[in-house]
Structure 1
Amino acid sequence: MSFQAYLDNIEDKTGLTPRQFIELAKERGFEGPTLKAGPVLEWLKEDHGLGRGHGMALVHIFKNGAKISDKHVGSDGTHRDDSDALWLDGKNNRPRPGRGRRTPAVNQPESSCSAPVTAVGTQTP
C-alpha cells in the first residue's frame, strides 16, 4: 500500500483529512521534528480508533510535513507512490492530471500562501 493510500484510508475510517489531523495535533502540541510517537499513537487509538500503521503515517506528517522519500516513486512495487509530495487536503479534493487544476506538488489549499510546507508549522522562504 502506498503512503498516500494510508492517508486516504485514514480519511475513510475517520472522516478527517490529514490536514484536519494536523490541526488537531497542533492543539495538543504534537508537532515538529522532535515529536515522540508514543503519545500520538495512544491519542489516535483512543480518540480515533487508528492502529499503529495508520498512526505512524500521521506521525510522519506531524513531524516532517508532506514530503516523503522518493524511494518508491515511479516504482512498480506495492508501496509505490505517484509523487514524493503527499496530498493532505482530502482525497476528493486531490487534483487529477489533465483536468486543468494545478498538481499537488506544493500540496496546499488554494487559498494559502505560495510557500511550500516542509514540516508542520514551518514554511520555506
Structure 2
Amino acid sequence: MGNHNQQGHVHEGEPYPYDLPHNPASQALRDEAAHYMELAGRFTDWLFDHTDHPIDLLAGDPDAIQEATMRERLIADQANTYQSLARQRLASARRDEWRTIYGTEPYEWPHCQQCHKDAAQARHQY
C-alpha cells in the first residue's frame, strides 16, 4: 500500500515522510516552526482568557475587530502572523525533505502536476 504525501494522496512507492533521511536544514525549519507555534499558542491563549469572541477575532470577523480593543487586535494579528510563519517553515521543511529523496520539487512529479492543474482549474471556476 502506498503512503500519503503532504496533500493526502496515496502514491505507490513513495517513502513515508517520517522515514526520510536526517536533513539538518529541514530539522532547523521544523524547530523554528515549533517555536512559532508555541508563540502563536501563547497569544491565542491570552485571547481566549481575555476576550469575548476570540475565534471571530482570529478569523478576522469585521464585527469582532470593530468591538475589540487595540491591544486585542494586535494580539490576534501576532497570533495569526506566528501561525503563518510556522506554516511557511513547515512547507519549506517538507520541500527540502522531498528534494533530498527525489532531487526535484514535489510539484514537478507527473502525478502531482495533474493535481496542481486540477486545483488551478477548480480555482478559476469560482
- TM-score (normalised: structure 2): 0.24
Greater per-residue helix proportion: 2
Asked which structure has the greater CA Rg, the reply is 2
- TM-score (normalised: structure 1): 0.24
